Structures are given as C-alpha cells and as structure tokens.
Amino acid sequence: MKCSLCGYCEIACPLFITYRDNILGPRWRVQGAVMLKNRELDPTDRIKKSLYTCLTCASCVDKCPLNLNIPEIVIEGRSLSTKPPQSEIIRRNVLRHGNPFGVKNSFKSKKESETLLFVGCLYPVVDQITLGLDLFARFDFLLRVFQRIPIFWKKMDGITKIAKLLEVLGYEFTFLEREPCCGEILYNMGYLEDFKSYIQGVHEVLKRKRIKRIIAFSPFCAYAFKKLYPKFIDDWDIEVLTLVEAINLRFEGGKLSLRVTYHDPCYYARHLGITEEPREILKKIEGLELIEPEHHKKKTLCVGDGGLELYYPKVAYDVAKRRVKELLSTGAPVIVTQCPACMAMIKWVLKREGWKADVRDIGKIVLESLK
C-alpha cells in the first residue's frame, strides 16, 4: 500500500472541508497510520487526534485514484495508536456486559424462528443519546447515567412498531433474550484482537439458536454481519438483510400525504451499497413526495457520527450542522433515514439550533402508510 499524496481524498472529507486542517484530512491519516505500522513514528496525541477524528464514512474512497480502503487503513492505525479514554470505557462494557453502555440488552420473544431480528445497541436509545449530547456533550458522563438509571436507558416503542411492521409484511422472526453487541464498535475503535475474539462468542450464540438469517436494524450491525464476520469467521454462513432490504422485499405500497427528504447513512450508501432500496420503498407510498438533498446516494454527506461524537463532540456537531442545513434547505418538513446514530445527531442539531423538522425512520413511515 502506497499513498501517492495527491490529496484528492481531502476534497471529499467532511472534517477537512469543515476545518481545512491537514491533520484532520485522509492524506495525513493514511501517512500517520503507515508510519505507525512501519515504526517510523511514535503514537503521539497529535496522531491520536488525526486517527480518531476520522468518521470512517468512506467519502474519501471514491476519490482515491489508487482505490485505497482508507477507513480500513485508519482502523489499523488506531490499533497501533494510543486510545481516547472513552474508548476504553466502551471496550470494557462490551467485553464484560455485551453492550457498550454497560447494561443488558434484553428482549422477550415467545417464538422460535430461524430468522433473527437483531435490534442492536443504539436503536433503543436514540432520544436518550440526543438528550445526553445536548445536556452534557460528554459521552463518558452519558455512559454513567445509563448505568445508574436503567429505566432511562430502555425505550421499546420504536422496536415494537418495527416488529409489528415486519409481522404485517409476513415475516416470522425471533429476538435474542440476551442480545449481545455485534462488536463493530470494537473494530471501529481499533481493538482488532478483542473484536476477533469477541465475535466468536456472538457466533456461538447464533449457532445455538440455529439462526439462518439476520434482519439488522442498524447499518453498523449489518456491516459487521455482512462484511466483517465473513472475513474473520471461517464457517460464517448466515444470510444478512438490512431492515431496509427486508421491508423493500415485501412492501407493496401504502398511502401517506407527506413531503420528505431522505438522508443516506454512510454505512448504507458507501459501505454496503444500499441506496436504491429506501427510495423504492418511498416511491411505493402514494401521496408521498421525496425531495432529494444536493448530496445523496453515494455522494451523501456524513452527519458526524461513526464514533466521532464519542471523542470530539464539538467537531462532530460542526460536521452534523453542515449536513442538517443541507437537508433543511430542501424545504421538506420531515427528514427520513434508517440509522439510529444519524437520527441522534440530526435531532441534536435541530434541538440546539432551534430548527424545526420531524425526524423519522423509514420503517415508521411505512407503518403509517399502511394505516
């Protein structure tokens, strides 16, 4: 792997565009990661900031003439770097409790099925994360709140609605009563050996339940199961659908008078190549008008999550604000997406700036159209 230092990647990087600081651009990150690997550089705080401000959004990848997988290079660099203190809290929680927030992710299911509805760690806490970021802008403090006030953490109505939708669409599925984190966050933070070991345990849980198919709520979980598990687990043979794919396969149409804009999550659009499915879903709804933002599909702008809100919330906010402004410029009163982290960031900006828009996930839009 050899970077040509052309700098094309920087014109697509949300951090570099926002701050025009070289250490916040992909070119500097790649060089830092390579020099760490070759032991030509010590893991300084400056290197740490460069690597951990990367959103892993993959905006840079399409611009690279050498087709370098820059997010993977950054993650390898993180594995060799010193870590932010927040990442160690999350690592410990995942390894000890199977959840980044240090609480039990438990769901009741009376059904046995080969299809698993995998909720993930973020979906139940979108509103709580938004509130925590708004009040404290400190993720370490928010983690302590979750652990001390469990009732604050659990919110099931959104999950219940999506489960109801999938039942209406004819899916039979089960939940894991003690659902573990998929582990993607360990990989993203650079704990590669921990990740490889941890996912073996998750795989054993799935095998004991005889799971043949996963429908994943979160694009991060879908990415882990679709891309990472096959890479590190030799006998991985489970079919993986994102929630958007599952809905699109069976949703035939509904009615809802609404003007919306759609935000493509980076992990759907660029990491998984899922851009047409959400639009096909929305087009099936009679009376719904989709107004595209300037940057959409694979050209989508990151909304500042991907872990950045853990380490540098002010930086994450600035990136998110730029994207939310663009979404609002469409004039649509409703912002639709299908990523819990994106929803939390969009809601955070709207609340803090006093801007008005409704934020909904695509599953709830579909459910409303069927009433």
DSSP class per residue in 137-155: --HHHHHHHHHH-HHHH--
The DSSP bridge partners found for residue 360 are 336
Q: All domains of the chain, ordered by start, with CATH?
A: 8-82 (no CATH), 87-245 (no CATH), 252-369 (3.40.50.1860)
Closest CA to 14 of 274, 220, 306: 306
pLDDT score at 226: 98
The secondary structure of 167-193 as a DSSP string is: HHTT---B--TBPPP-SHHHHHHT-HH
User: pLDDT (tens digit, 0 to 9) for every residue of the chain, 371 residues total?
Assistant: 678 888 889 999 999 998 988 888 999 899 989 899 988 888 888 899 999 999 999 999 989 989 899 999 999 999 999 999 889 989 999 999 998 887 776 666 668 899 999 999 888 877 777 766 766 555 555 566 555 555 444 556 678 889 999 999 999 999 998 899 999 999 999 999 999 999 999 999 999 999 999 999 999 999 999 999 999 999 999 999 999 999 999 999 999 999 999 999 999 999 999 999 999 999 999 999 999 999 999 999 999 987 888 888 889 999 999 999 999 999 999 999 999 999 999 999 999 999 999 999 999 999 999 98
In angstroms, the CA 317 to CA 164 distance is 34
Pairing state between β 334-337 and 254-262: parallel
- Write down the pLDDT at residue 195: 98
Cβ–Cβ under 8 Å, residues 209 and 173: no
Question: In this predicted structure, what is the pLDDT of residue 152?
Answer: 47
pTM of the entire predicted model: 0.93
Task: Determine the pLDDT at residue 159.
Answer: 82
